[in-house]
Amino acid sequence: MDRLAKIWVSGVVQGVGFRFFVNRLASQYGLGGIVKNLPDGRVYIEVEGDREVIQAFLKDVRVGHPWARVTDIQVEWLPFEGKYRNFRITY
């Protein structure tokens, strides 16, 4: 079942290439959405796709980029909206 997931990632996730890592990872999984840095030091990800695929994506996000250190991931699951055709980094 397709879903929309809003994801907040905490830890050492800014200034280490984490958004670029997430962008590549989401593209590999065939997911659409966005990733951006937040002013509070977290990274926000919004992704659409099959729930099981998103859950696999989240496992890889938790492992993170080699220079990142993910300490927490919060996920809000919402109904699929179909608003993304690809994945991109936003600012």
Q: How far is CA 82 from the centre of its chain?
A: 16
19 is catalytic: yes
Q: Please tell me which residue in 3, 19, 23, 42 is annotated as part of the active site.
A: 19
Determine the 3-state secondary structure of 31 from DSSP.
coil
Looking at the DSSP assignment, which residues form a beta bridge with residue 87? 33
Q: Please tell me which residue in 3, 23, 37, 69 is annotated as part of the active site.
A: 37
Is 9 within 8 Å of 65 (Cβ atoms)?
no
Q: Return the active site residues.
A: 19, 37
